Structures are given as C-alpha cells and as structure tokens.
Amino acid sequence: MKVLVATEKPFAEIAARKIKELIDAAGYEAVFLENYKSASEFASAVSDADALIVRSDIVSAELLDAAKRLKIVVRAGAGYDNLDLEACTRHNVVAMNTPGQNSNAVAELAFEMMLYMARSGFSGKSGTELRGKTIGIHGFGNVGRYVAEISGGFGMTVSAFDPYIAEDVITGYGIRACKSAKELYSECQYISLNIPFNKETGSSVNYSLLSGMPVPAVLVNTARKEIIDEESLLKMFAERPDFRYLSDVAPDCKALIEEKYSGRFLFTAKKMGAQTEEANSNAGIAAINQIVDYFKTGNQKFRLNK
C-alpha cells in the first residue's frame, strides 16, 4: 500500500516526520512529493498511489484519471475547494478533510495581521488598540470560534453571524448573534471572514455589505480570496480612507492596491494560516490516521463525497 503525501507547500519537518512514522507503523510505503512545479509532476507521482494526502493541492478530474490505484484522498485541512468531489465519486475515490485540526493557527494569524496593521506595521508611527473595538465573525465554524475566544481576551466587543449555526450556539460563547450578514457588517469595525469558498459564497463579500461598516473598517480574510468581490474591494479603498484589507492571500487586483493604497493592506505571499508546526502536525496526523482507519475498519466519518 503506497501513501503519497503531495504538498506543493510542504509541512513543517517535524510534522512530515510524524506522518512518515505513522505510515511506516501501519506497514505502508510513504512517498513525499514536496515543492512540485507542475500538475504533470503531481500526476506522475500519484499514478501508483493507493492513498493521497494533500493540502491546498489541486485534485482535479485529470489528476484522478492518472491515479489508477487511488482509493482515498484526505485534504489535511478544512477547506476542500481544491478537491473535485464529483470526480472523486466518479473515480470511486473516498474524499475526506480533517476539520478543526488547523483552526487555532488560522485564528492566530487573523490577530497577527490585525495587530500588525493596528500598530502601523511596527513602523514607529502611533497606532491604535484592539480593546474596545467591535469585531464581527462571519462564519462560526472551528476558526470563527477560536477568533471569538481570542477577541474576548483582547477586550473587543464580539458578534457573529452564520446562517448554518443555531443562534444559541453563538450566544453560548457569550457573544451576540446577528440575524444577517448585513447586520453584522453594519455594527463591526473589524470583520473576520471565516466562511468556506463554494458556489454560494464566491464573491459574496461585496459593496453592499462592506459599505455599511463603521469607521475604521478593517476586513480580515483568512478564508479564501475568492469570497471577495474585487470590484467592491477597490471601490471601498477608493471611497473610504479608513478602509483596510488584511488577507491570506493577495487578491487578483493586488497590483492596483499596491500602487495606490500604501499602508492600508497586508497580503501574505503564500497562504500562511495553517503554517505552524502544531497545525501541520495536527492535520497531517489526523489525515494519516483517517486513511489507516479507513483501510482497517472502513470508517468514513469525515467523508465529503457521496
């Protein structure tokens, strides 16, 4: 049984070592493909793999065509917009993710970016504090809940909105539950985006929501760049001098923003949210454990496709 760990953005060394130990302990063969440069390199590595672990690596119908022996793919992480689930089903491949395993790292990154911006990029210029500011959490899943917890520690006033989570779950965290995204944005100076990217959420963070934000408006995106409507983003930068955008990773219109709005944005060069030793270890270990469990007992608890 061959397990391919294909990570264009490699796991921390300590995490890769633990994953290998668990693959060895199960009596399987471990193969690591890191920093690969093309889809064809990935396709040739997966051709004789029985199981596959990926991060944001693209698992497309074409890749699955090449993966003749593949039975299971596990996305070591939460968001699975990189997996073609219908193609997985057509190819009889079980697709899973590892929800919750890297959420704290992503929530911490939101605050790291917020603090950097609040303190004027550590430039020596006077900045602002987080205490007493309002923060709205858009999406109250695993990451949103950690953001709520940390926001409380900073003395922020916290609200959340999630159409799929019951209000009493949100209020159970001692924070306010909003009835709509519009209400959330109209009340909060900071908005933390913690929603997945899918057909429903693509370009859904738009001018109608953003323009309602009170001053100063700081949008923090540790989710996916695709959930933002970029025309609206540019309009906000142009119309609202108080508007700041902090994003893991940069939008497609990055060059325009860099040219005109210096000091009002922060973009990571590569997706950084889950780039900690702890998150890599948690997600990677969960992924290999799920694979071993699937082969040994048939457990499909984290299955995403039908």
Interface residue list for ligand 3PG (CB under 6 A): 9, 55-56, 77-79, 102, 271, 273-274
Output the smallest distance, CB 150 to ligand 3PG, in A: 17
C-alpha to C-alpha distance for 8 and 127, rounded to whole angstroms? 37
Output the smallest distance, CB 274 to ligand 3PG, in A: 4
Output the smallest distance, CB 201 to ligand 3PG, in A: 13
Contact predicate 14/276, CB 8 Å: no
Output the smallest distance, CB 109 to ligand 3PG, in A: 10
Amino acid at 37: K
Output the smallest distance, CB 273 to ligand 3PG, in A: 5
- When the beta carbons of 191 and 193 are compared against ligand 3PG, the nearer one is 193
- When the beta carbons of 56 and 134 are compared against ligand 3PG, the nearer one is 56
Q: Residue 184's closest CA among 155, 208, 152?
A: 208
- When the beta carbons of 159 and 305 are compared against ligand 3PG, the nearer one is 305
Measured at the alpha carbon of residue 290, what is the angle toward residues 287 and 294, in degrees to the nearest 5?
Answer: 145
- When the beta carbons of 176 and 225 are compared against ligand 3PG, the nearer one is 225
- When the beta carbons of 70 and 105 are compared against ligand 3PG, the nearer one is 105
Measured at the alpha carbon of residue 164, what is the angle toward residues 143 and 270, in degrees to the nearest 5?
Answer: 35
Residues near 194 by beta carbon (within 8 Å), at least 6 away in sequence: 106, 137, 138, 139, 140, 141, 143, 144, 147, 222, 223
Beta bridge partners of 176: 159
Residues near 17 by beta carbon (within 8 Å), at least 6 away in sequence: none
**Among all residues, whose Cβ is closest to ligand 3PG?**
77
- When the beta carbons of 17 and 68 are compared against ligand 3PG, the nearer one is 17
C-alpha to C-alpha distance for 239 and 236, rounded to whole angstroms? 5
Output the smallest distance, CB 152 to ligand 3PG, in A: 23
